[in-house]
Chain A
């Protein structure tokens, strides 16, 4: 999905001459097409993510739609304050692209495990947090962001994700994309864990509904109310710490709807994610997901 996203950006940059791409000295064999076609709108900022983010704000102030690109924690946690104050308070037109969400760089160690980013970025006003599940979502998000004015974050997985949707999807902040209708349990996922969720549900032969949420922000409350009325159990799944992530966002929304009297009762919410721990040993993304418990195993046993 990384290549799909960057290639989409490259195509879009032909028609949109305000798109500017910066990288933190990463992107070998990925960013070259953009750099070659649009040298005037490309910059390798060096391994200096604070300055990259500040420069992005400077460029955005002068009319560019700036995308910063690096691995996981580097364009995000490394420069959180630049994101909060320079990008978000000024509502600057800066999009942060992180490749390697979750354990996509599993064997590289904890430095490269991107497992707290959603919690940190979604807490900042003006920030739109996005996490595509497959290449179609990635392309749809790229297209959306070309006309979206203001800060956004794109949490990409890496490479090799299967196509799940049939084509591009209508991504909107807070909107759930229906992957399949079902009954009893609704599984809500964000990012690339969707594929694993579907496989496990299929193997277990459950009729569960599945929704993907590529753009986290204030959820569409009508949809959430209707989910709460239709399902006794909502499962959330993310490759991220449980504290403050996607599942937390769903819980917050449902709890607010309950408090406002818009739903008569709260469905049971089972959150699947990383139980607030680091995994210090190496492993493939699949292995580390399994070790962290980022799968539906226990949910399927108990439901």
Chain B
């Protein structure tokens, strides 16, 4: 499956999950869908057979509330053999909790409390360096999540320890939980902030697969003493016209009519 097909599949699965299980956070799943699709289709050195291989690339998915996108990509890429995601998601006794869970194969870290994964990624990146391991460490955070001070501790640490095997991807969809990022706690000038923290910063259109592929691949290879931050400019709810840029779709789960309309748009 190429990354475009994979992204479409991720959005369709997320739609199914949010509709059938009345789950939230489809907006954040759609803003990150293209990033995940490009990573899993073209960039990561990992496969369902190498989830425990020490040489693998690590992915830390910090925006755990947007779980449907990660579960969907893992499902489409064959990591969830023996599981029935659509059936099991959030049902009694299932480890498919609606904030990502490391009990699921391919999930490195349970998240859901925002602002935890970047520091774990720093520790992992440091360990890989000290052990002479060539793997790359990818971390995906959301924008509102950067309100959390813990991230800024980790940004200091990543640069201080020259963790150039780290690639931080920021899903900059400009909306958080109760307002726009600009209204709630502005991040701008974000690129300047990150550069001032001594991260190498690239800004990309987070829905353009060619741009994502090129930047992710280059960032993963460049061992130049600088950790990499990719600011992916995205649209919350991307892919479904009536969800795009709408705060409400941080919470809402699609009803039957929403589902039909969204499905038609995604399949078009």
What chain B residues lie within 8 Å of A59 (beta carbons)? Answer: 123-124, 126-127
Cβ contact of B120, chosen from A46, A61, A64, A81, cutoff 8 A: A61
Residues of B112-130 at the interface with A, using a CB-CB cut-off of 8 Å, are: 113, 116-128, 130
CA distance A80 to B117 in the complex (A): 15
> Which of under 10, 10 to 19, 20 to 34, or 35 or more describes the interface residues of B?
20 to 34
A48–B156 CB distance below 8 A:
yes
A46–B124 CB distance below 8 A:
no
B123–A57 CB distance below 8 A:
yes
B123–A54 CB distance below 8 A:
yes
Q: Does A293 contact B (CB under 8 A)?
A: no
Q: Does A40 contact B (CB under 8 A)?
A: yes
Q: Does A43 contact B (CB under 8 A)?
A: yes
A89–B121 CB distance below 8 A:
no
Residues of A47-69 at the interface with B, using a CB-CB cut-off of 8 Å, are: 48, 50-64
Q: Does B154 contact A (CB under 8 A)?
A: yes
Q: Check A51/B157 contact, CB under 8 A, given A58-B123, A59-B124, A85-B113.
A: yes
Q: Check A62/B110 contact, CB under 8 A, given A54-B118, A86-B120.
A: no
Query: Can you name the residue of chain B whose Cβ is closest to the Cβ of A79?
Result: B150
A89–B110 CB distance below 8 A:
yes
The DSSP consensus for interface residues of chain A is helix
Which of B119, B123, B127 is the most central at the interface, judged by chain A CB atoms within 10 Å of its CB?
B123
B156–A61 CB distance below 8 A:
no
A50–B127 CB distance below 8 A:
no
Q: Does B10 contact A (CB under 8 A)?
A: no
> Which of under 10, 10 to 19, 20 to 34, or 35 or more describes the interface residues of A?
20 to 34
B150–A58 CB distance below 8 A:
no
B150–A55 CB distance below 8 A:
no
Q: Check A57/B120 contact, CB under 8 A, given A62-B131, A63-B127.
A: yes
Query: Can you name the residue of chain A whose Cβ is closest to the Cβ of B119?
Result: A54
What chain A residues lie within 8 Å of B160 (beta carbons)? Answer: 46
Q: Does B153 contact A (CB under 8 A)?
A: yes
Query: Can you name the residue of chain B whose Cβ is closest to the Cβ of A85?
Result: B113
B124–A45 CB distance below 8 A:
no
CA distance A124 to B124 in the complex (A): 24
CB of B175, distance to nearest CB on chain A (Å): 24
A58–B113 CB distance below 8 A:
no
B110–A51 CB distance below 8 A:
no
What chain B residues lie within 8 Å of A61 (beta carbons)? Answer: 108, 120, 123-124, 127
A-B contacts, 26 listed (Cβ < 8 Å): A40-B130, A46-B153, A46-B157, A46-B160, A48-B157, A51-B154, A51-B156, A54-B120, A54-B122, A54-B154, A55-B119, A55-B120, A57-B120, A57-B123, A58-B124, A59-B126, A60-B123, A61-B127, A62-B54, A62-B123, A62-B131, A63-B131, A81-B113, A82-B116, A85-B113, A86-B116
Q: Mark A residues whose CB is within 8 Å of B.
A: 40-41, 43, 45-46, 48, 50-64, 81-82, 85-86, 89-90
Apart from A54-B117, A62-B124, what 6 extra A-B contacts exist at CB < 8 Å? A51-B119, A51-B157, A55-B122, A58-B121, A58-B126, A59-B127
